[in-house]
Structure 1
Amino acid sequence: MAAGGLSRSERKAAERVRRLREEQQRERLRQVSRILRKAAAERSAEEGRLLAESADLVTELQGRSRRREGLKRRQEEVCDDPEELRRKVRELAGAVRNAKYLVVYTGAGISTAASIPDYRGPNGVWTLLQKGRSVSAADLSEAEPTLTHMSIARLHEQKLVQHVVSQNCDGLHLRSGLPRSAISELHGNMYIEVLKKYPRLWCMTKPPSRRPKLYIVNLQWTPKDDWAALKLHGRCDDVMQLLMDELGLEIPPYSSYDMVHYGHSNQLRQARAMGDYLIVGVHTDEEISKHKGPPVFTQEERYKMVQAIKWVDEVVPAAPYVTTLETLDKYSCDFCVHGNDITLTVDGRDTYEEVKQAGRYRECKRTQGVSTTDLVGRMLLVTKAHHRGQEMSSEYREYADSFGKCPGGRNPWTGVSQFLQTSQKIIQFASGKEPQPGDTIIYVAGAFDLFHIGHVDFLEKVHGLAERPYVIAGLHFDQEVNHYKGKNYPIMNLHERTLSVLACRYVSEVVIGAPYSVTAELLDHFKVDLVCHGKTEIVPDKDGSDPYQEPKRRGVFCQIDSGNDLTTDLIVQRIIKNRLEYEARNQKKEAKELAFLEAMRQQESRPERESDSDM
C-alpha cells in the first residue's frame, strides 16, 4: 500500500478510467461536430436528441466555428470599389496637405510589387508555410523600388512627409532616393522600444483628442483598424497612384541600367546548355525606357554586345518586352529561358505569363554576388571625390547607398566584390582550346573594366587581323589598374573582369594578373606573333619605361583603331547623367510650378487693388 492510500494497481485502474472518459468525450465531440456540419433538415431524430443532450458541446463548437470564420475573414483581402477608393484617397490627400508632421509607417505589403512576398497575404510566407508549400522570392539585390517607394520619396522631397518608419529589411526605401536621415528601420518588437526623451513612443496612451490621426492602407484586417481615422482597402501602388494624382505630383521612375556583365553571360551559357541553338532577343531603347528607365547603351550597342558573347547563336533586334507564344513560334523556338527572378511590365504583369502557362518556359540560376545595381553603386562612389570634392563625401556615400544591396553596410564599391571566386566558374567560361599549328597568336593587355562595346570593337578588329587568330588577353592586377587609372578604379575586380573577357567570342585565352610591361618571358612562353594596343594613351610603367618596349624591339607591336571612342570613364558619366536627369527635370518642373503659383497669387490680388482704386 502506497503512502497516498492507493496501491499501484488502483492508480493504474484510475488512469485507465480517466483516459476512457477523455476518449469518450472526444468521440462525442466528433459526433456532434459531424452533425452540426449537416443542414438541420438532413439530421435524424437520433442526431437531434444527441445535440439536445450535448448543449455545452454545441455551444463550444459553435464558438470555435465563429472564431475560425472570424480569423478567416481577417485574412481575406478586401478591395474598396473604385469610386469608394477615390473618395477615400481624396480624404487622405486632404490629410496629407494639412498635416503638421506626417510619418509613413511601412510593412511587407509595400514590397510585394517588387516580387518580395508579404507574410499574411494569399501568397505570403506564413500562408504558404501553413499549407506546407515552399516559399520563393526575388533576390533582394535585384529587387527595385516600387511605385509606392518612389511616391514616398517624392512626398518627402516635397516636404509633405517628414519621416518614414519601416519594418522592412529590403533596402528599397534607400534605393528609391529617400535619405538615410529620413528613415528609421525597426526590427523585432517595436512596442518595447524606449525613448528617454519621449516616454509615449506610440502616443496611444494620450487622450483620443490628442492622439495623432492614423490612416491605414491594407487589404486585410489589422489590429489598429478601430483606431484609424480612415481605412483604405486597396493595393499600395493603386492608392499611391491615386494620391499622387490628387496632389498633382509626378512619380519619379526608378532608373534601371542595361549594362551587360558576366552574370548575364553566365545565364546565356546556362541557356545554351539547355538546347542546340540559342536566340537572344534584345529590346529597343523605347521599350526599355518605358518599362525600366533610360538605357545606358544604345540599342545598336546592346545588339553588338550580346552577339559578342560566345554562347549566342543569333540576336533578334527589337524583341518585344512581353514574350508571347507568337514570338517563340516566329523564330521556331521550343521554349524560352530566363533567370529565376520575376520581370514585370510597367503595369505590374509578368512578362513571361503566357509562355509559362503554355509550359514553354525554363529557368536558369542567377549568378550570385553580382548585379547591375551593385556595379552602379560602385560607380557612384567612384564619382564622389572626383566630381564633388571630399567635403561632399558623406552626402554622396548616402547617394550611392541608395543603389547598394547592403545599404549602409560594408558594401564593396571601391573595386572589391562580394562575388565568391571559384575555379569552377572560370572552367565553365574558358574555351579549353589550345593554339594549333598555323594559328596566329595575338596578345592584348589592359584592365577591360566594365567590359563594354568599346572593348568588343577593339577585340573584333584584333580577331580580324589573321585568318586563324588565337587571341590572348592579359588582365592586369587590381593594384596595377589603380596605379594608372587612379580614383577607385577598377570598378570590377580581377576575377570579375576575367569572366567578362572569357565570355567574349573573340578571346581564346586570358592571362590572369598579367605583368604591366610585356616581357620577353611572356612573349616566348606564349609564342606570341603579334602584340596589339588601341589608340588610347600608353601610360609608362612605374620606372618610367615603355610597357611595350620589348614587342616594339622585336617588330611585333601594332596599334589598332577600333573606331569606337567609348571608355569606362564615359560609361560612368552616362550612369551619372541618367541618375541626375530626372532630378534636373524635377527642379525645372518645380520652378515652373512656383512661378505659376506666384502668377496665380498676383492674379488673385489684382482685382482687389483695382476695386480699391475705383472707390
Structure 2
Amino acid sequence: MTEWHGTLCADESWPPPLETFTSSENARPGYGKIFASEYLDSPSTLLLKVRLLASLIKSSKNLTVYTGAGISTSTGIPDYGSKSLLPPHQLSPYLAQPSLTHHILKSLHTNAYLKNWIQQNHDGLPQKAGYPQSQLNEIHGSWYNPSNPVIPMSGELQQDLYSDLISISQSSDLVISLGTSMSGMTSDLIFTSCPTRVIINKQRTGYDDIAGLRIYGDSDEVSELLCREMGLEVPDVSKYEIREFGDSGVYVFEGYNEKGIREEGETLTLDLREGSSVKLVNGWREGTIGEVVGRQREGHYKIRLSVRLKEGGCERYIERVLGFWWLEGAKEGSIESLPLVNV
C-alpha cells in the first residue's frame, strides 16, 4: 500500500484511490512519462491522511511548501498537466484572486507553522492572500517583479533565488508538495532533499515512491480539512475583495540606499508617478532603463522597458508589472532589495 499512501502509512486496510479520470496522454510531454489520469482518495482514507498530515505539521520545526499550478486552477488560471475539464479561464490572469489553498497557507504562516514557501507559479496569488513577499521564493519567475520574469523550461534560475532554495533545502525538516507534477525541474531538489516528504496532487508524480505521505485530492478540499484538523478558522473566501494600494506614487523608504538595498541609516525616495524613469537594479537585465506608464486596476505599477531580446537585434518595448507588495515590504523594512529605483 505504500505505493498509493506513502512510506509512513502501514495500514493495509486503506483502499487505493479511485481513478476519476483516465488518460493515456503524457501529463508533461518531454518531462517524464506520467499519464494524465487523476485519482481521489476515499473520504474516510482522506480524513485519516489529513490527520497524519496535521500531526507532522505540528511536530515540524521548519516546514516548507512547494507549490505548482494545481493550487491556482480553481481561480481560473490553467495548469500544464491536467487534461480533464477545468474552470473557465480568466479573461486576464492578472484578475485572478487567491484560492482557498492560498489563504490557508497564509494562515499556517500567520500561526507560525509554515516557515518557507517555494512558488513555481508566477501569479502573485500568495501575496494577494496576504503572504509576505519577503518569505516567498518565486523560483521560476513572477508576473509582478520586473527583475524576475518567467523563466522558460530551458532557462537558468536566478542566482539569489537558487542560493535561497539550497539554503532552505538544507534546513527543512518537512516539505509538502502541492499541485505540482515535479517533472524533474531543478527546484524539485527542495522535495528530494528533505527527510520527511508529503505529496498532495490528483495526478501521479515521479516521486510518489519516496513520499512519506501521499494524498490524492483537490488542494482546496485537502487544505480545508487540514485547517479544521489544525483547529484554525477556515477563511471565508467569498468575503475577500481586491486589495487596493492607493497612494500619491511617491514613496520614502527608511533603511534603503540609492540602489534599493537595505542599509541602516540610508533613505530612498522612489517616484512611481506616470512618466517617471526607473532602472532595474538586480536579477534579469540589471541596469535596464524603463518608464512608469500607469497602474493596473489593483494598483500595481506598469513598467515599460526598452530591451534587446537577441544579441545584435533591434530594441523593442516590453511591459512588466511591479506588485504593490514590494512597496509594502519596503515600508516595513522586511525585504532585502527592491527590484528597481529611479534613474
User: Normalization by structure 2: what TM-score?
Assistant: 0.50
Structure (1/2) with the larger helix percentage: 1
Normalising by the residue count of structure 1, what TM-score does the alignment of the two structures yield?
0.29
The structure whose RCO (Cα within 8 Å, separation 6+) is larger is 2
